[in-house]
Structure 1
Amino acid sequence: MVKALAGPLGLPDDTELLVRANGATMIAGGALLATGRMPRVAATALAGSLVPSTIAGHPFWNETDPQKKAEQKQQFMKNLSVLGGVLLAAVDTAGKPGLAYRARMLGDAASRTKGSIVKDARYAAGTARREAKLKLATATDALS
């Protein structure tokens, strides 16, 4: 079954290598998720490794013995529920905003800053204009 999945995914045809890589991914992803380091990346890696291992490891649809089919189906459903959990962990921001939100807020802040600068510049120009008129009027009065 591993060889059947390796071909379409463009992976090497070495079953032992793929199983070891899958195990390493699960260990590293589980450790990162458990320690809270890069939880979204870790959960995504776990989800990515869980799908092919579930399909390859628990093909209940190929079983003819009803008892083995029920066991394989139970394990398949267990892995499916674990997949749901890691997908939730992959999208959970733990109260921290995502990149799209941060970019939008940065754009809004830049827009507010620009508006503030324009407003300050207009005020300074008006003040300078009034002072220039006042100096001109004072100079004109002094000459008269």
Structure 2
Amino acid sequence: MSLLRAVGRPMLASMFVAGGLESVRHPQDVVPVAEPVVRPVTERVAVLPDRTEQTVRLNGAVQVVAGLLLATGRLPRTAALALAVTLVPTTLAGHRFWEEDDASRRVQQRIHFLKNLAMLGGLLITADDTGAAPSMLWRGRRTARELRRDAHLVRHAARAGARPAAAAARVRAKLPG
């Protein structure tokens, strides 16, 4: 792992571990803000808890676990993707700058919204980062290309071997007895 990944991943993960712990410990602090976003999501996604407090705790727990995985470099792409998924409702619930009447609060909420948007971008880049190793998609395509090439070579070899065998069979058939 490069030095930049070794330093950058824990830095990116730190915000999620801290925020996730706070949501797990004190979900009631976030419930009023989260309610307008959580309610429509829980109505569409049956596996989520019905109560907003439980959903906030679950979101926080996912952030803690995925943040620790990302910080330690274990399953970093999966962890980054999980964090990205949790960041979207967190941002939409917590930083609704477009609903603020007070100009200074609107500016602050917009700053936090854009900060979360920047973190989302970092998580998406991290989710796509293969660490200089070929991705599964690249490996699959390469394997398929190699298999097609091998099948082509086998087909040509079979045809090339069949011609002399056919000629030998014709000669044998013409020989007496």
TM-score normalised per structure 2 = 0.66
Q: How many Å apart are 1:30 and its aligned residue? A: 1.4
Q: Which residue is equivalent to 2:159?
A: 122
The percentage of counterpart residues that share the same residue type is 41
Greater shift in the superposed pair: 9-18 or 45-54: 9-18
Q: How many Å apart are 1:134 and its aligned residue? A: 7.0
CA–CA distance in structure 2, aligned partners of residues 77 and 49 of structure 1: 16
- The reply to whether residue 112 of structure 1 matches residue 144 of structure 2 is no
- The reply to whether residue 80 of structure 1 matches residue 113 of structure 2 is no
- Contact 2:62/2:83, CA 8 A, preserved across alignment: yes
> Structure 1 pair 126/14, CA: closer, same or farther in 2 (3 Å)?
same
Greater shift in the superposed pair: 3-12 or 24-33: 3-12
Matches within 5 A, 1:61-80: 61-80=98-117
Which structure has more relative contact order (CA 8 Å, sep 6+)? It is 2
CA–CA distance in structure 2, aligned partners of residues 43 and 76 of structure 1: 19
Greater shift in the superposed pair: 94-103 or 115-124: 94-103
Q: Which of 41, 51, 60 is 1:9 aligned to?
A: 41
Between the two proteins, the alignment pairs up a number of residues equal to 140
Q: Which of 12, 16, 19 is 2:56 aligned to?
A: 19
Residue 18 of structure 1 aligns with an amino acid whose one-letter code is T
CA–CA distance in structure 2, aligned partners of residues 95 and 13 of structure 1: 42
CA–CA distance in structure 2, aligned partners of residues 104 and 37 of structure 1: 25
Which runs of no fewer than 5 residues in structure 2 stay unpaired? 1-32, 43-47
RMSD: 2.5
Q: How many Å apart are 1:90 and its aligned residue? A: 1.6
Which runs of no fewer than 5 residues in structure 1 stay unpaired? none
CA–CA distance in structure 2, aligned partners of residues 7 and 16 of structure 1: 11
- The reply to whether residue 55 of structure 1 matches residue 92 of structure 2 is yes
**Superposed CA offset, 1:9-60 (max 9, x none):** 1244423212211111111111222222222211111111011111211222
**Superposed CA offset, 1:79-111 (max 9, x none):** 111111001112223333333333322221221
TM-score normalised per structure 1 = 0.78
Q: Which of 74, 95, 100 is 1:37 aligned to?
A: 74
**What SS does structure 2 have at the residue aligned with 1:95?**
coil
The structure with the larger Rg is 1
Residue 61 of structure 1 aligns with an amino acid whose one-letter code is W
- Contact 1:6/1:12, CA 8 A, preserved across alignment: no
